[in-house]
Amino acid sequence: MRFFRLRGAARAAAATLVTSTTLLGMTQGDARADVVSGTRSEKLRETSHVVDMELQATQAKLVVKRTVWNGGSRHDQGMFSIEMPRGAVATGLRTLGLKDNRPFWFLGELMEAEAAAAKYRELTGIGGFYPKDPALLSWRSQLHLALQVFPVPPSQPKTVEYTLVMPTHYKGGRYHVGIGRLGTERLPATAAISAANPGDRIYLNGQRVPAGTSVLLDKDAPQIAVERRSQPMIDGGLAVIPLAKDRSFVRFHLEAAPKLSAVPKGAYVVVLIDASRSIDEPQSAAMVAAARAYLSHFSDGGKASVLLFDRSVRPAVGNGYAFVSARRAAAELARAPIERRNGSRLDDALVQAEKLLATAPPGAARRVVLLTDLRTRSALNPENENIKGILKSGALLHIGVLRSGFPAITRDDADEWSKVALGTGGVLWRGGASVRREDDAVMAQVFEEWARPIRLHHVKVTFQQGQRPEEIAIDSPILNEGEGIVEMEIQKEGVSKVDFQGELWAQPIKKSILPDDREGDRWAALIFGSNVFHKLKEEEMMELALRGRAVSPVTSYLAIEPGVRPSTEGLDWGGGRGFGRSSDRLSGSVRMGGTGPGRFDHKGYLKDALAAAWGSVCGGSGKKATITLETTRAEVVDVQSVRADGLANTKPGACLENAAWNLALPAEFTSEWTSFTVEL
């Protein structure tokens, strides 16, 4: 059982620097493949893409190392359009350079997105210094990051490394990672898998594998999971992050152990089968099949005796009332004839079971399974003192009311006879059983639940908010072993603790989970990969991103060598191939030409972008120019006129026209048709 309270789609992204070529690459080809290219040359190629994947119960950490080779003749910028695994966020960046003529990793600093973009542009522009090694990792959408690194020297490699974290999902007693494919079409990533905690077990496509196993993350997405070495019956975590006076992010998860219990070794078991005439032949055969399936789980030293009852009690097989091995009892029961007679003395059958169990050695587990239709004499009911006084040996009693049919059982606490079973720690069950050989495996699986509890019933989860508890609506009151519950939401009030309760057979199980700062730190980052992300306000994003050290719409990583300055091989950001901004932006985020929160200044954007080209590239610094252009949505569809005042030749005007044609307009340009006259 899983419960998610997740709604809506992710919001937009913050601005960053990218070239028009990158924008084109981001919209073409396989939507799940990265694109790696150079700014100046098509001879820049990726040569290595390796991932160290470290698994733990709460998350997977992917340290991604990528190397490009510049086959061109000039220093180039390496551009990575990165398709993110669903739910993943970036929490680190570093670039490999030289320090004292030795290889050295320069760590990235998490910065406000616009400041990081501006700094990168400054450092990669044309200047008088030797090229150094800035790298920028920025957000474009929830499933898409941009990585830029400069310079990549000619005929040399360049290596960058970034860290991704992503949540696991718990199923079947293991924590799974939905990684999908990573890398370009030509070069998918190769991952080496390890466990963060010694003793945890790694699984690849359902098979256990040793630490360090490599897997190709291509289009055939592998199934990767980790299983904890040991796990409490109920475990979980709670992240509570205050966002504002009346807003808190709350994320709660709870997992039931892969195995909630074990079949007791050396148990003594008595099976009582109703042989009265109210039981028809198919139903009788179904009860025998259920008894055999149940006994198959006591092969480790278990002893059993099978009795029939109607108006009297008698052994089902020829060994009298003695205990034999559970395996032998099941085999002999398959061959035993069952003559159905009048009477349903189930109380006498319980008395005989008590006598048998009195001979069991001290400390041995004692079990009774009563298979009946509960159609007994009217004088006998669950409230009778003779029923209450029978079971004194400490034996656990299950009552099974079965029909012939598909193997399945459900708990019935509403029946008045359930009190008798619950009083011993057992349960009254209703359901079906099959005699078909092809159903033997399913029968053994279904009736294992009589041999040991495999799920929790009557599950309730309560959030403690202030002085009042709030019970969470979950889709089922049953939690199977190896399954979990997840709740994530932005709420008006914080949560001081989460209380869980359920029943393991008749045993109450309770667990309280308190807020954990480590969970809070983790989810301050992971929220940007979740479906709750779109509900965040921009100021909340900044606080969360800084706490979680995550790339976000408002934060980017910038890695630079100390002392780096604009180089002689710097990029010409003002014209030529142009520069743009993210096509996926926040409403009200910092932007060129902005006029305040909530509105995008289209004309101001054009003026800022064209002024940069006019002054630094076209030689128009200090001169006036007027340009009229038309847009249809985010496309410059026409440049109608260019007028450059006070210039002797037409080259600056042609340069300005070229700059306009090279603009990469952001998504805020939504009108079907608009004409702009921009004065510079």
- For the stretch 334-343, pLDDT in tens is 999 999 888 8
Query: Is the pLDDT reported for residue 467 higher than 90?
Result: no
pLDDT for the residue numbered 661: 86
Q: Does residue 229 form part of some domain?
A: no
Are 87 and 167 in contact by the 8 Å Cβ rule? The answer is: yes
Q: Does residue 478 form part of some domain?
A: no
We report the CATH number of the domain holding residue 664 as 3.30.1150
Query: Is the pLDDT reported for residue 561 higher than 90?
Result: no
- Count up the domains in the chain and report the number: 2
pLDDT for the residue numbered 558: 96
Enumerate residues 6+ apart whose C-beta is below 8 A from 149. 77, 78, 80, 95, 133, 134, 135, 136, 158, 160
Angle made by CA atoms 418, 422, 427, in degrees to the nearest 5: 65
Ranking 261-275, 332-346, 420-434, 593-607 by mean pLDDT, the lowest is 593-607
Question: Using one digit for the tens of pLDDT, what is the confidence trace for 279-332?
Answer: 999 999 999 999 999 999 999 999 999 999 998 999 998 778 899 999 999 999
Q: Does residue 69 form part of some domain?
A: no
Residue 117 phi, psi (nearest 5): -65, -45
Q: Does residue 580 form part of some domain?
A: no
Q: Who wins on pLDDT, 403 or 566?
A: 403
pLDDT for the residue numbered 365: 96
Cross-sheet strand order for the sheet of 555-559: 35-38, 76-83, 144-152, 135-141, 555-559, 102-112, 89-99, 157-167, 59-70, 44-55, 189-195, 213-217
pLDDT for the residue numbered 647: 64
pLDDT classification of 570: cutoffs 50, 70, 90: low
Query: Is the pLDDT reported for residue 73 higher than 70?
Result: yes
**342 is in which domain, residue-wise?**
268-452
Residue type, 356: L
Q: Which stretches of 279-393 are DSSP H helices?
A: 281-295, 326-335, 346-357, 385-388
CA dihedral 488, 489, 491, 493 (to 10 degrees): 10
Q: Which stretches of 84-192 are DSSP H helices?
A: 113-123
Mean pLDDT within 494-511: 95
pLDDT classification of 587: cutoffs 50, 70, 90: very low
pLDDT for the residue numbered 418: 95
Mean pLDDT within 432-460: 97
**Which of 424, 452, 480 corresponds to the end of one domain?**
452
Q: Does residue 44 form part of some domain?
A: no
Give exposure, 537-576, as e/b (b: 16+ Cβ within 10 Å).
ebebbbbbbbebbbbbbbbbbbbbeeebebbebbbbbbbb
Ranking 88-102, 355-369, 614-628 by mean pLDDT, the lowest is 614-628
Q: Average per-residue pLDDT in the chain?
A: 86
pTM: 0.78
pLDDT classification of 569: cutoffs 50, 70, 90: low
CA distance 86 to 67: 24
pLDDT for the residue numbered 601: 86
pLDDT for the residue numbered 13: 37
Mean pLDDT within 195-215: 95
Mean pLDDT within 629-636: 80
DSSP 8-class letter at 437: G
SS3 content of the chain, % helix, strand, coil (to 5): 20, 40, 40
CA distance 257 to 250: 23
Most confident of the ranges 5-14, 311-320, 522-531: 522-531
Are 19 and 39 in contact by the 8 Å Cβ rule? The answer is: yes
Q: Does residue 633 form part of some domain?
A: yes
Cross-sheet strand order for the sheet of 201-204: 169-171, 174-177, 224-227, 201-204, 207-209
pLDDT classification of 563: cutoffs 50, 70, 90: low
Query: Is the pLDDT reported for residue 116 higher than 90?
Result: yes
pLDDT for the residue numbered 124: 80
Mean pLDDT within 357-363: 94
pLDDT classification of 583: cutoffs 50, 70, 90: very low
Q: Does residue 80 form part of some domain?
A: no
Most confident of the ranges 43-47, 472-476, 613-617: 43-47
Question: Using one digit for the tens of pLDDT, what is the confidence trace for 140-152?
Answer: 999 999 999 998 9
pLDDT for the residue numbered 573: 52
pLDDT for the residue numbered 675: 87
pLDDT for the residue numbered 649: 59
pLDDT for the residue numbered 571: 58
pLDDT-above-90 percentage for the chain: 64
CA distance 12 to 31: 18
pLDDT for the residue numbered 129: 43
Enumerate residues 6+ apart whose C-beta is below 8 A from 321. 305, 307, 315, 352, 355, 356
pLDDT for the residue numbered 4: 30
pLDDT for the residue numbered 81: 95
pLDDT for the residue numbered 602: 87
Q: How many Cα atoms within 13 Å fall on the side-chain side of residue 415?
A: 19
pLDDT classification of 671: cutoffs 50, 70, 90: confident
pLDDT for the residue numbered 260: 97
pLDDT for the residue numbered 126: 40
Residue with tokens 């609506």: 473
We report the CATH number of the domain holding residue 378 as 3.40.50.410
pLDDT for the residue numbered 567: 53
**Which of 418, 435, 452 corresponds to the end of one domain?**
452
Q: How many Cα atoms within 13 Å fall on the side-chain side of residue 260?
A: 25
**Which of 393, 419, 452 corresponds to the end of one domain?**
452
pLDDT for the residue numbered 43: 94
Beta strands 455-465 and 479-480 are antiparallel
Measure Cα distances from 33 to 27, 40, 81, 477, 553 in Å.
Answer: 11, 22, 9, 41, 22
Q: Does residue 531 form part of some domain?
A: no
pLDDT for the residue numbered 637: 73
Ranking 113-117, 627-631, 644-648 by mean pLDDT, the lowest is 644-648
pLDDT for the residue numbered 131: 44
Query: Is the pLDDT reported for residue 103 higher than 80?
Result: yes
Closest among 195, 167, 9 to 89, alpha carbons compared: 167
Angle, helices 326-335/281-295, rounded to nearest 10 degrees: 160
Query: Is the pLDDT reported for residue 553 higher than 90?
Result: yes
pLDDT classification of 648: cutoffs 50, 70, 90: low
pLDDT classification of 132: cutoffs 50, 70, 90: low
pLDDT for the residue numbered 2: 32
pLDDT for the residue numbered 8: 30
Ranking 31-35, 245-249, 601-605 by mean pLDDT, the lowest is 31-35
pLDDT-above-70 percentage for the chain: 88
pLDDT for the residue numbered 604: 87
